Every structure is written in structure tokens, then in C-alpha cells.
Amino acid sequence: MKPVPESLPDGESALLVEADAGLNADEADALSDVESELRPLQIGTEQHATRLDRALVDLVPEFSRSYLQQLLAQGLVNLNGKPVLKASTRVKAGDHVVLEMRPTVQSQAFRPEPMPIDVVYEDAHLLVVNKPAGLVVHPAPGNWSGTLLNGLLARDEKALLVPRAGIVHRLDKDTSGLMVVARDRAAMDALVALIAERKVQRQYLALAHGAWTGPKTRTVNVPIGRDPRNRLRMAVVDLAIHPGKAARTDISYLGGVDVGCWVQCTLHTGRTHQIRVHLASLKHPLVGDSLYGGSPMDPMQRQALHAYRLAFVHPVT
């Protein structure tokens, strides 16, 4: 399985999980007793004139595109009362679709799971939560349950009506701090647009290794891409040689001692592991971040990164 980014900023964005078209034996056994579901859907104005498979991904985001294409190929999708086999079929607003849904491991993961959620702000359109370290944001291979998304579904039944339960960006598992979550589709679309236009200010506090030297304020403006030597890592890359994307982080020194320093990091882009990579490129890896050269420092045993400030114009009011 591989993560497939949606039309959100890279890295800090929410992710769907693209699954292999078929189930393995264990998955098939686990789901064999679960009945299929006939799910009626209506094509909205947002899906007008798009491919059927793309429209379905939007309407049932808990299923991967490849799985939905498999349903089409098996004749399990009806469009306006007639079976349709081609994923490329164009749809119109108002079209009626009926799916015979066959459960997958990832679709079963989109279930409510009660858990404590620290809500620091809430209104009718959005909420801001303080995510603890150790909590995964979105179901993915290895973490199909116990995620923030599962908790949001349990907290508010209306979250079932919003793609990804309203999650519009993410934090790494071991990063704590603030996340904004939409409570309706209009707010979600507006927040996605604000993030894409870089109109959401995100600031982090970090504890990094080493004594800080040089200017107290630095701007790291170097591209980030997949590390060609280790696919689990990201790295500063030369775009003439390796694929990557522009990335900018403003870093301000707050204080420290010989073995470590407190810094504030302001993101101007949202690349995967951006702060971790940029600090490591300055020879100041995060405390507790073993992937990028850091190590634990009592009492901090986890990745020392906290998203402490979000600033944006409310998308509705």
C-alpha cells in the first residue's frame, strides 16, 4: 500500500491510503462475514463533468480509488439505473449512483472510537484540537484504529458527513499540538484553500541538539524530497538531480545551553518532516528524533516538537 496525497499541501496534509485492488487471504477471511452494502449516492455540483471514479472517491472517501475501480470492473456500480463498467464515464450533477460496497480493511477502519479529545476552540463550523504525542491522525497501514479521525467520528455524528471527518492537515504521530478540523463541507473547502494559499500561519516550539551559534533568526529556504539513500526519510535535495519541492522555514532562537537549544519554527510551506529536515540540515536535529540524528534527552524521550500556534481568518464567520 502507498500513501496518496490529495489536493492539499504535501506532508502536513491529510492523506488517503491507496490500497491494492485485491485483498490478501487474511483480509478476505476477516471480512468474509461482513455483508455487502447497497449505497445510494447523488452526484453534486462539485463532481459535475468529472470521471465517475474521481467522483466516487469524493463521495465515499473511506474507499481507495483502485478499490472503486475494481467495483466498476465487476459491474457493481449502477449509474441512473444501469450498470456502468468504465471508470472514465463522465457524470453530471443530479446523476444517481448505487454502489454494491464490498468491505476492505481500510473502509472498516473509518469507525467511531470514543477517546478523550482536548478541544481548545469550537464553533458551528470548526474546532481546534490539541493533539497529544503518540496519536496518529488518520488510519493508515499499521494504524487502522485508535486514530484522531476515529475519535472525531465518535465525538460528533456529523463528522461522518464530512470527508476525512474534517481533517485538513496533519501532524506526525510523535508531534503534539494544535490542529484545525472542519465541521462541515463548506468550512473544509475554505480551510483547504487557505492552507493551499499559505494563509494559515503555523508556529512550532522545538528542542534541538547543540549550542546555537550565529544569527538568532534564520530562514532555511531549501527544497525537500525523498532521501535517495533511505526511503523512510526526507532530505534537502538538489532539484537538478532529485525530485522535491520548495520548502521554507523561519527559525528563531529562544534560549539554550551547550547541549541544546529552544527554537521557534514558522512554516511557510508544509512539506513532509519539514522542520525535522531543516533543523537537521543546520546540525541541530530535534531531541528524540532518531530518524534525523537526534537522541532522547531526559525528561524528553519523544520527538521534541509542538505545534503551539495557529492563525487564520475564520473561513465562514
Structure confidence at residue 19 (pLDDT): 30
Q: Which CATH number fits domain 20-103: 3.30.420.40, 3.90.226.10, 1.10.390.10, 3.10.290.10?
A: 3.10.290.10
Mean pLDDT of the chain: 86
Active-site residue list: 172
Residues 132-171: tens digit of each pLDDT: 999 999 988 788 899 999 999 999 999 988 989 999 999 9
Determine the average pLDDT of the residues in 40-69: 90
Contact between 177 and 171 under an 8 Å Cβ cutoff? The reply is yes
Residues 72-101: tens digit of each pLDDT: 998 999 999 999 999 999 999 999 999 987
Contact between 305 and 275 under an 8 Å Cβ cutoff? The reply is yes
List the single range of 35-39, 72-76, 97-101, 247-251 with lowest mean pLDDT: 35-39
CA distances, 292 to each of 182, 230, 258, 289, 303 (Å):
32, 11, 20, 6, 10
CA distances, 143 to each of 10, 48, 102, 109, 173 (Å):
20, 34, 21, 9, 10
- Cα angle 237, 179, 138 (rounded to 5 degrees) comes to 75
Determine the longest span between alpha carbons in the chain, in angstroms: 71
pLDDT above 90 covers what percent of the chain? 69
Q: How would residue 27 be classed by pLDDT, with cut points 50, 70 and 90? A: very low
Count the Cβ atoms, other than its own, within 10 Å of residue 35. Answer: 7
> What is the architecture, at CATH level 2, of domain 109-197?
2-Layer Sandwich (3.30)
Structure confidence at residue 170 (pLDDT): 92
Structure confidence at residue 317 (pLDDT): 82
Q: Give just the sign of the alpha carbon dihedral 144, 146, 152, 157.
A: positive
Contact between 73 and 135 under an 8 Å Cβ cutoff? The reply is no
Name the CATH topology of 202-310: Pseudouridine synthase (3.30.2350)
Residue whose grid cell is 460528533: 156
Helix ranges, 14-146 (H): 25-31, 52-59, 65-73, 105-109
CB proximity list for 156: less than 8 A, separation 6 or greater: 183
Judge if 109-197 and 202-310 fold alike in CATH terms: yes
Q: How would residue 70 be classed by pLDDT, with cut points 50, 70 and 90? A: confident
More confident residue, 35 or 51: 51
Structure confidence at residue 131 (pLDDT): 98
Q: What are phi and psi of 215, to 5 degrees?
A: -60, 145
- Distance separating alpha carbons of residues 301 and 306, to the nearest angstrom: 14
Determine the average pLDDT of the residues in 195-217: 95
Residues 224-235: tens digit of each pLDDT: 999 999 988 999
Strand partners, 96: 42
Sequence ranges of the domains in the chain: 20-103, 109-197, 202-310
Q: How would residue 16 be classed by pLDDT, with cut points 50, 70 and 90? A: very low
More confident residue, 36 or 8: 36
pLDDT of 291 > 90? The answer is yes
Q: How would residue 273 be classed by pLDDT, with cut points 50, 70 and 90? A: very high
- The SS3 call for residue 23 is coil
pLDDT of 18 > 70? The answer is no
Judge residue 275's burial from the number of C-beta atoms within 10 Å of its C-beta, 0-12 exposed, 13-18 middle, 19 or more buried: buried
DSSP 193-227: HHHHTT-SEEEEEEEEES---S-SEEEEE--EEE-
